Amino acid sequence: MPENWSSSRLDLHLDLDAEGGRRARLETALRDAIRAGRLTTGTPLPSTRGLAQELGLSRGTVTAAYDQLAEQGYLTTRPGAATRVAEVLPHLPAQVPADTPAHPPPHDLRPGRPDVSAFPARAWLAATRRVLDRARPEVFGPGDPQGRIELRTALADYLGRTRGVLTTPDRIVITSGYYQAVQLLCRVLLAQGREVAAFEDPGHDFYRDTVCRAGLRAHALPVDAYGADTEALTARTDAVFLTPSHQYPTGVPLHPGRRQAFCAWARSSGGLIVEDDYDGEFRYDRRPVGALQSLAPDHVAYCGTTSKTLGPALRLAWTVLPPDLVEPVVRVKQEDDLYTETLGQLVLADFIATHAYDRHIRAARQRYRIRRELLMDRLAAFPGLTAHGVPAGLHTLVTLPREGPTEADLLTMCADRGVALRGLTELHHHPDSDRPEGLLIGFAAPSERACPAAIDALTGVLAESITLPSARRPRPPQP
Amino acid sequence: MPENWSSSRLDLHLDLDAEGGRRARLETALRDAIRAGRLTTGTPLPSTRGLAQELGLSRGTVTAAYDQLAEQGYLTTRPGAATRVAEVLPHLPAQVPADTPAHPPPHDLRPGRPDVSAFPARAWLAATRRVLDRARPEVFGPGDPQGRIELRTALADYLGRTRGVLTTPDRIVITSGYYQAVQLLCRVLLAQGREVAAFEDPGHDFYRDTVCRAGLRAHALPVDAYGADTEALTARTDAVFLTPSHQYPTGVPLHPGRRQAFCAWARSSGGLIVEDDYDGEFRYDRRPVGALQSLAPDHVAYCGTTSKTLGPALRLAWTVLPPDLVEPVVRVKQEDDLYTETLGQLVLADFIATHAYDRHIRAARQRYRIRRELLMDRLAAFPGLTAHGVPAGLHTLVTLPREGPTEADLLTMCADRGVALRGLTELHHHPDSDRPEGLLIGFAAPSERACPAAIDALTGVLAESITLPSARRPRPPQP
């Protein structure tokens, strides 16, 4: 029930339904009036005695409200003079409608994305409970710039067991995602005067751009059926970014001879190999090939992440470093963000140590294998398409027949049908008409329920646009 | 039970107790032998048939093991020639002893640290359960560079309610700690050609150094009994970093007249005020003074954090921005680390929305108030000491009598007794002999159990070193 009070000086609406005590209500009413411009700068306020009488409040209540507003700068007081409204900006505009989180596309076939609908929430919660039950107080204090020893210890075992990585916990640095790891490595390389990085072509444009933005110069390593070609290494090359177990985007594993050659280059030149093992856990026809790192642990920075297994939201990744790079990388990590948040690290450490991580990956691998087989069967109906790479990872690359629709045509049609995927051409360092065109199809991204419809939607677009050999149009004469 | 096998070519120890199938065991034994240098580069291996016979394995098993090792680069194969050991580095040294997490000092009175032994683990777990129970899949996908809308919405309500901050969720950016917020603000300022930042003197040296490392120039704002002095603002000043509710380290609140003056400066000059509300929740004698931000929401970047309430390990902080700074700050945030991890943000949002955050802070405030009173009573026994600031925050500053021990003496004695605290002098921009010496005593840092002993240890040092007035030594003649 609102109540009005007026004084010789001003008229003010006091909402007695507002929460809080009488002092707080009076303070709020005055502040709102000032913010709303109903009480303008310089306006003198009633005396505390006068206002107290008018409102039936104790004088102390009014004095307390005036003091609080004066301390906040809404009122100015001078001994012997009336309390006045200070200079204050008008109120903010009404609250804008709240954002809504980005919704995934109807048919999500974007490469490099796991099925986040399968996040093991129950097991993650159980691990969180175990961590919080046994957490010592220091867990909630300042963290370790290198990453929690519990997580580094669990990873040293896990990576040795599943990826053949040769490491000890003291060689591992935890980062807030692979993106941070790339930036930290770039800063250390630049500090050492190393400025030229070689990137697979076609390759992951986002990280190539990241490295260039960090100040390095990138040159291309052409990718053929054996992976990145060492022939393109130059005398100026300081570092090489590789995806040896499943090249992005072609999906070919790096040939053993090439593995040897890159390691030989690193040993002789002192160059650094950055091994991006982004989806090495997912091989569908056999045991995955071990990490390149184990061939030259003193020359390879091995990088892994939870982004392709659990989901990118966790921002948890790891880098296994040559001994001489540990201290420099930890130092720039500390400069960059002090340390990565601790609880997530401890939960992941428990998740790995209790083998919940292995179980989750095994289950995901089984689902993805079936999805991939379904996709490959459906694509086989289009003889013009060529699928590349080994049965592995979260995506497959298909290149397009010279006849028929262009990559751009297909991407447009896919977008019209709500099918989200990526084109190949933008992953080339120097896109030109001679480069093959193709589609990167991420079969892991959709939920189990949504996957068949997504594949149907894609093959529907292909059926509409790709002419079958029997009916193949003659190619238009070239100029 | 280990078994030995030998061939015309080499002798190898095969541990049949190792985990995994026979292929895996053979593969492991060969890899270990190569890594350990027992099988050296160039050594030819037995034929698959020969080795299969010797070991009683199927030839396919041996072939599979050879193939896997060849793919990993441990073996080289050439058609028609024997399989040989490739060039591989020797094994790593044995694992170094695992790090142990940093242990707090016996008597932890470091300023700016909350009692992390009181972390509300049960309530945090309950909030985590609620979040995971209702989490939509997108929660585990890529996050929002500005921060989750659930957290920004909860903060807009909380900050308005408890700190008088004028904001809407769209003005808030979530960062991985206040440290990141400072760096992002610096990058945006520099991009706008704004290079000069004013810092409170004495003030928080860590953030002053951070801003200078980011490329800005810092100048001093002398702090007196009314807080930072606006007189020291220059025509070149582009930004001011302030701690208005409880100046660090003196503990004085910024005087209403000064609040007005800083806001007037910002409005007339277009300068930015960065309000570091690092411990504004903790006022022990009255309701805390509201945020400076509400006086000039279009000119103040208001920064808050969970580091002083829940603990720094969470790396969760927020900045309420003037409208024109939201987009630039979100852009540099995305460039910096894409986004802050999502789960912690959602748990904190639930924690705030369910008022568990208010309850935790109320309980902590009650404990800290009692600790502070105990500390002040004990310090009162040393008439030479002068306590500064209002009853608020996580620390108190005492300055030392001119007679008696120096700050350095006391810090040394404290260190000897396992008492960790900070000296005042290093917080001055230009330490010199005229600056007052003093101690910053963090009464919030120790656990409830450890706090009395910590205060005893400190007062023990003071009793030993500070002469009482009756027995005051004459000051040595100055040169």
% of chain B residues with pLDDT over 70: 89
Closest CB to A312: pick one of B96, B100, B142.
B142
pLDDT of the residue at B36: 64
Round to the nearest angstrom and report the end-to-end CA distance of chain A.
85
Subunit contact A92:B340, Cβ cutoff 8 A: no
B316 in helix, strand or coil? coil
Closest CA to B241 of B212, B283, B267: B212
In sign, the C-alpha dihedral spanning B353, B356, B357, B361 is positive
Per-residue pLDDT tens over the stretch B387-427: 999 999 999 999 998 888 999 999 999 999 999 999 999 99
Instruction: Tell whether the model's pLDDT for residue A173 goes beyond 80.
Output: yes
Spatial contact of B452 and B443, defined as CB atoms under 8 Å apart: no
Subunit contact B256:A143, Cβ cutoff 8 A: no
User: Chain B contact for A66, CB < 8 A?
Assistant: no
Per-residue pLDDT tens over the stretch B270-323: 999 999 999 999 999 988 889 999 999 999 999 999 999 999 999 999 999 999
C-alpha B443/C-alpha A265 separation (Å) is 57
Closest CA to A68 of A117, A112, A105, A34: A34
Minimum CA–CA partner of B144 in chain A: A101
% of chain B residues with pLDDT over 90: 71
Chain B contacts of A170, Cβ < 8 Å? Answer: 96, 98-99
Q: What is the mean pLDDT of residues B251-279?
A: 97
pTM of the model: 0.82
Residue contacts between A and B (CB atoms, under 8 Å): 255
Subunit contact A89:B296, Cβ cutoff 8 A: yes
Round to the nearest angstrom and report the end-to-end CA distance of chain B.
84
Spatial contact of B201 and B223, defined as CB atoms under 8 Å apart: yes
User: Chain B contact for A148, CB < 8 A?
Assistant: yes
C-alpha A393/C-alpha B189 separation (Å) is 42
Spatial contact of B231 and B242, defined as CB atoms under 8 Å apart: no
The CATH topology of domain A361-467 is: Aspartate Aminotransferase, domain 1 (3.90.1150)
What H or E segment, with its residue span, contains residue B198? strand B196-201
Q: Give the position of tokens 């099988």.
A: B39
Per-residue pLDDT tens over the stretch B50-68: 888 877 888 888 888 888 8
Strand partners, A44: A84
Per-residue pLDDT tens over the stretch A417-474: 999 999 999 999 887 767 889 999 999 999 999 999 999 999 999 999 886 554 444 4
pLDDT band at B1 (very low <50, low <70, confident <90, very high): very low
How much of chain A is helix, strand and coil, in % rounded to 5?
40, 15, 40
Domain B3-100 grouped into CATH 1.10.10.10: yes
Angle at which helices B59-72 and A256-269 cross, to 10°? 40
Lowest-pLDDT range of A167-176, A421-430, A461-470, B167-176: A461-470
**Distance from A457 to chain B by nearest Cα, in Å?**
21
C-alpha A234/C-alpha A269 separation (Å) is 10
Minimum CA–CA partner of B87 in chain A: A260
User: Chain A contact for B256, CB < 8 A?
Assistant: yes
Q: What is the mean pLDDT of residues B344-353?
A: 98
pLDDT of the residue at B377: 96
Minimum CA–CA partner of A255 in chain B: B71
In sign, the C-alpha dihedral spanning B150, B154, B157, B160 is negative
Backbone angles phi, psi at B300, to 5 degrees: -120, 130
Subunit contact A71:B289, Cβ cutoff 8 A: yes
Closest CB to A289: pick one of B72, B92, B259.
B72
Closest CB to A92: pick one of B139, B144, B297.
B297
**Distance from A153 to chain B by nearest Cα, in Å?**
8
* β-bridge pairing A227-228 and A217-224: antiparallel
Minimum CA–CA partner of B124 in chain A: A132
Subunit contact B337:A177, Cβ cutoff 8 A: yes
| Cα–chain center distance at B479 | 45
User: Chain A contact for B315, CB < 8 A?
Assistant: yes
pLDDT of the residue at B11: 44
Closest CA to A248 of A426, A2, A48: A426
User: Chain B contact for A273, CB < 8 A?
Assistant: no
Per-residue pLDDT tens over the stretch A353-397: 999 999 999 999 999 999 999 999 999 999 889 999 999 999 999
Q: Where in chain B is the domain with CATH 3.90.1150.10?
A: 361-467
As a residue count, chain B comes to 479
| Residue A228, token pair as written in the block | 């990145």
User: Chain B contact for A129, CB < 8 A?
Assistant: yes
How many CA atoms are closer than 13 Å to the CA of B436, on its beta-carbon side?
19
C-alpha A222/C-alpha A202 separation (Å) is 7
pLDDT of the residue at A112: 94
pLDDT band at A476 (very low <50, low <70, confident <90, very high): very low
pLDDT band at A36 (very low <50, low <70, confident <90, very high): low
Spatial contact of B443 and B371, defined as CB atoms under 8 Å apart: yes
Subunit contact B101:A144, Cβ cutoff 8 A: yes
Subunit contact B149:A99, Cβ cutoff 8 A: yes
| Interface ipTM | 0.82
User: Chain A contact for B180, CB < 8 A?
Assistant: yes
Residue B221 is which amino acid?
A: L
Spatial contact of A47 and A82, defined as CB atoms under 8 Å apart: yes
**Distance from B89 to chain A by nearest Cα, in Å?**
6
pLDDT of the residue at A38: 66
Closest CB to B344: pick one of A96, A156, A341.
A341
Closest CB to B72: pick one of A31, A135, A164.
A164
Subunit contact B169:A99, Cβ cutoff 8 A: yes
What H or E segment, with its residue span, contains residue A48? helix A48-55
Closest CA to A398 of A251, A224, A206: A251
C-alpha B178/C-alpha A414 separation (Å) is 43
User: Chain B contact for A103, CB < 8 A?
Assistant: yes
Closest CB to A177: pick one of B264, B298, B338.
B338
Q: Where in chain A is the domain with CATH 3.40.640.10?
A: 119-358
The CATH topology of domain A119-358 is: Aspartate Aminotransferase; domain 2 (3.40.640)
Subunit contact B99:A140, Cβ cutoff 8 A: no
**Distance from A205 to chain B by nearest Cα, in Å?**
15
DSSP string over B201-227: ES--HHHHHHHHHTT-EEEEEEEETTE
pLDDT of the residue at B50: 82
Chain B contacts of A101, Cβ < 8 Å? Answer: 136, 138, 144, 148-149
Subunit contact B99:A149, Cβ cutoff 8 A: yes
Subunit contact B290:A72, Cβ cutoff 8 A: yes
Per-residue pLDDT tens over the stretch B70-117: 877 788 887 778 888 887 654 443 333 333 445 678 999 999 999 999
What is the per-residue burial (b if ≥16 Cβ within 10 Å, else e) of A177-195? bbbbbbbbbbbbbeeeebe
Q: Output the CA–CA distances (angstroms, integers) from residue A239 to A39, A260, B221, B349, in the order listed.
A: 66, 16, 46, 42
DSSP string over B321-359: --HHHHHHHHHHHHHHHSS--HHHHHHHHHHHHTTHHHH
Among A residues 349-388, those touching chain B with beta carbons less than 8 Å apart: none
User: Chain A contact for B341, CB < 8 A?
Assistant: yes
Closest CA to A318 of A454, A164, A195, A159: A159
Q: Which of B315, B327, B334, B336 to mutate to test the interface with A (most CBs of A within 10 A)?
A: B315
C-alpha A300/C-alpha A294 separation (Å) is 9
Q: Which of A300, A333, A337 to mutate to test the interface with B (most CBs of B within 10 A)?
A: A337
Q: Which of B71, B166, B255, B300 to mutate to test the interface with A (most CBs of A within 10 A)?
A: B71
Instruction: Tell whether the model's pLDDT for residue A100 goes beyond 60.
Output: no
Instruction: Tell whether the model's pLDDT for residue B479 goes beyond 80.
Output: no
Encode A153-217 in three state secondary structure.
HHHHHHHHHHHCCCCCHHHEEEECCHHHHHHHHHHHHHHCCCCEEEEEECCCHHHHHHHHHCCCE
Q: Output the CA–CA distances (angstroms, integers) from residue A224 to A424, B119, B195, in the order listed.
A: 15, 55, 49
Q: Give the position of tokens 């039970």.
A: B1
Chain A contacts of B132, Cβ < 8 Å? Answer: 121-122, 124-125
Q: Which of B182, B210, B242, B294 to mutate to test the interface with A (most CBs of A within 10 A)?
A: B294
Subunit contact B313:A341, Cβ cutoff 8 A: yes
User: What mean pLDDT, rounded, does chain A reach?
Assistant: 88
Lowest-pLDDT range of A72-86, A288-302, B141-155: A72-86
Minimum CA–CA partner of B72 in chain A: A290
Radius of gyration of chain A (CA): 31
Q: Which of A28, A41, A71, A350 to mutate to test the interface with B (most CBs of B within 10 A)?
A: A71
Subunit contact A72:B256, Cβ cutoff 8 A: yes
Residue A148 is which amino acid?
A: R
In sign, the C-alpha dihedral spanning A213, A218, A222, A226 is negative
In sign, the C-alpha dihedral spanning B308, B309, B313, B314 is negative
Q: Output the CA–CA distances (angstroms, integers) from residue A458 to A369, A395, A423, A427, B69, in the order listed.
A: 18, 14, 13, 21, 39
Instruction: Tell whether the model's pLDDT for residue B38 goes beyond 60.
Output: yes
pLDDT of the residue at B37: 64
Q: What is the mean pLDDT of residues B29-40?
A: 73
Closest CB to B137: pick one of A117, A169, A176.
A117
Spatial contact of A386 and A192, defined as CB atoms under 8 Å apart: no
